[in-house]
Structures are given as C-alpha cells and as structure tokens.
Chains A and B, each alone.
Chain A
Amino acid sequence: DIVMTQSPDSLAVSLGERATINCKSSQSVLYSSYNKNYLSWFQQKPGQPPKRLIYWASSRDSGVPDRFSGSGSGTDFTLTISSLQAEDVAVYYCQQSYSPPYTFGQGTRLEIK
C-alpha cells in the first residue's frame, strides 16, 4: 500500500500570510501514460464532509479560490494558501488515487496565529 505522510501535523499562520502543507507518498503517484499525478487535496471544517480543493496535484476544483494552489510531482507535493483567510481554518488532507487502496495522509490542522 502507498503510505501518505503529511507535514506538519499542525500549523498556525497569521491572517494574510502564506501557509504551506507538504505531502509525501511512499512511491510515485505519477501515471506516466497520462502524465498526471493522482494526488488530491481536501479541506474539512468541523461538522462538515470533506471538500476537494485540488485534483491531479495542481488542478483547482471549480469555485475554489485562487489563493489555493497545488504543486509537486512523483512523490512530493505541496498545498499552498497564498494569503490565509479566517475561513481557511480547517484540517487538510492529501490522498493518492494512483493505486488502491486510495490512502489519505493523516491530516494537517491549520489555525490562525
């Protein structure tokens, strides 16, 4: 199974500042035939189901603010929030869908400093 490891486990950032969350997979999630990384990022707020923000490592879902961006390839990925807003307080998860079982990272809790 592919193991997904996020860092840090928690993060406190000031409003308007940049937040960066890392995700590392135990093996490559790059599907060479399609040149796509099967890596997604999700945001979960308390009492709500998760919401997908990013798919294929760097493609933003419709309606997701452009302050959210994803980058990386192979085994190392990053979710960046360019200017933190109060509504971005949440737990963030990465997930690989390259090979079942489609494992999630352990989550990163993002708070306001």
Chain B
Amino acid sequence: QVRLVESGGGVVQPGRSLRLSCATSGFTFSSYAMHWVRQAPGKGLEWVAVILYDGSHQYYANSVKGRFTISRDISKNTLYLQLTSLRPDDTAVYYCARDVRGSEDYWGQGTQVIVSS
C-alpha cells in the first residue's frame, strides 16, 4: 500500500535551517510529482512546493520562494524539503503528498516544525 512518512521536524531558532524528509513506499516514486503542504497551528492549508516526477521543474509558494528547496532522490524513494532562513511564521505541520490527476491524493501524517528563539 502507498505510504508516505515525514521526518526531520523539530524546534529551530529563527534564521536557522532544517531539512525535512518524506520516505515513500508502495508505488513507483519516480513516476509521480510530489508536493509539500503545510498547516500553521489552528490555520488552513498552505501549499508550499511541487517537484515534477523527473525532478525537471520545481514550483514554490511566494512565501517560501528563495528560502525553501524541494528535491527528490529516486534511489532512496525519498522527497526532501530544505528550509533555510526560517521565520516564526514558518511554524507548521509539514505534509508531503503524492500527485495523481493534478492534485494530492495520498498524504503523510506530517512533521511538526517550530521556529522559536
């Protein structure tokens, strides 16, 4: 069955960096675009980034462009999100999700990122 498991979250000071991982199984990872979506405490969903199935293109939300980088390692069936220059308003649960038919069908359980001094 399809599984997505995020890791790498934690408490980090403003201005520091963090790398999130999303380990996948149960499907051919190299055939699907993948997304990151986040949700701040008590708030709605915010789409963060997408990477195409072959890694050829990446797109970002304006709020993270230039600070976050999405990437993938086909050999490890793993999706990444590198977070730099973190700000308190980056505090959120970060979800990875697979893209089928133009949007996110399977989601992981999320990893919590808290940006605080």
Q: How far apart sit A38 and B46, CA to CA, in the bound complex (Å)?
A: 17
Quick one: which of B35, B47, B102, B105 contacts A61, CB cutoff 8 A? B105
Question: Which of B13-21, B22-30, B75-83, B106-114 has 4 or more CB atoms under 8 Å from chain A?
Answer: B106-114
Determine whether the beta carbon of A102 is less than 8 Å from that of B44: no
Question: Which of A12-20, A52-60, A72-80 has 4 or more CB atoms under 8 Å from chain B?
Answer: A52-60
In the complex, which residues of chain A have a beta carbon less than 8 angstroms from the beta carbon of B46? 104
A103 on the interface (CB 8 Å rule)?
yes
A44 on the interface (CB 8 Å rule)?
yes
Tell whether A104 pairs with B44 under 8 Å between CB atoms, given A49-B95, A49-B109, A49-B110: yes
Determine whether the beta carbon of B103 is less than 8 Å from that of A101: no
B45 on the interface (CB 8 Å rule)?
yes
Q: How far apart sit A16 and B60, CA to CA, in the bound complex (Å)?
A: 41
Nearest first, the 9 closest Cβ-Cβ pairs linking A and B are: A100-B59, A49-B107, A40-B103, A107-B44, A102-B47, A104-B45, A97-B103, A97-B102, A101-B61
**Total interface residues on A, using CB and 8 Å?**
26
What is the predominant secondary structure among interface residues of chain B facing chain A? strand
Q: How far apart sit A78 and B105, CA to CA, in the bound complex (Å)?
A: 19
Determine whether the beta carbon of A101 is less than 8 Å from that of B102: no
7 intermolecular pairs with C-beta atoms under 8 Å apart = A49-B108, A50-B37, A59-B101, A97-B103, A101-B59, A102-B47, A104-B44
Determine whether the beta carbon of A107 is less than 8 Å from that of B103: no
A22 on the interface (CB 8 Å rule)?
no
Quick one: which of A56, A104, A107 contacts B102, CB cutoff 8 A? A56
Determine whether the beta carbon of B45 is less than 8 Å from that of A93: yes
In the complex, which residues of chain A have a beta carbon less than 8 angstroms from the beta carbon of B45? 42, 44, 50, 93, 95, 104, 107
In the complex, which residues of chain B have a beta carbon less than 8 angstroms from the beta carbon of A40? 102-104
Tell whether A101 pairs with B62 under 8 Å between CB atoms, given A106-B44, A107-B44: yes
